[in-house]
Amino acid sequence: MEIRPLSRDEVRQIDNVAIEQYGITGLMLMENAGSGAARLVNEIAPAGKVAILCGKGNNAGDGYVIARHMELLDREVKLISIVDTESLTGDAKANFQIADRSKLPIIAAADRVRLAQELTSADIIVDCLLGTGATGSLRGLFADAVAIANQTDAIRIAIDVPTGIDCDTGQIMGEAFCAHETITFVAHKLAMQIPECHQTFGRIHVVGIGASKTILQRFA
């Protein structure tokens, strides 16, 4: 069903209703989102080495799910974490642990030099650094990762929203991941309707998370 563009608060509402009223766990929602995104990444870029940039929130958790499903599609994939994975919590931590136990390559990029080495060797870069909840300017390795990724010749795919753009207002938070394609969950976000932001989002695809029609129809 068609859903109107959503704000970050409405995205949270959908997640909360699915979890608290319908008993769909956060892990289930993340699995549905990540597996659907992986299939789309494979369709968008059916060949080449995939690097998935991960931060520390649920967007990173999506990245760990995507990597696992990309491997099942026989793709060469690596995860690049720009945070200490010991700091992960909740569903992101759970999916990191699954990826780690599955022996997926998880690279700790603790400085700009290592980031550049790992990103310049990739054919496809998937942005799972920050999601819809992010506000404020990018700092440190988050800013470095975005700047380096934007300078590569790789196909750049953002998950949910490109890192560095406010999903409600479209404001660029210092620098934004300049995506060729954005795979967003449930529905378009408000900023995707702003013409000046189209260059940052690229082509937009929508993937479901398994929330039922009775939840989503409130936002139709």
Q: List binding-site positions.
A: 59, 127, 131-137, 160, 163
Structure tokens at 113: 């030099």
Q: Which residue numbers belong to the known binding site for (6S)-NADPHX?
A: 131-137, 160
Asked whether 157 and 62 are in contact (CB, 8 A), the reply is no
Asked whether 61 and 31 are in contact (CB, 8 A), the reply is no
Separation of alpha carbons 70 and 77, rounded Å: 7
Q: Which residue numbers belong to the known binding site for K(+)?
A: 59, 127, 163
Closest CA to 15 of 160, 220, 211, 213: 211
Tell me what percent of the chain is helix, strand and coil, each rounded to the nearest 5.
45, 15, 35
Separation of alpha carbons 201 and 204, rounded Å: 7
The dihedrals phi and psi of 171, each to the nearest 5 degrees, come to -65, 135
Separation of alpha carbons 111 and 50, rounded Å: 20
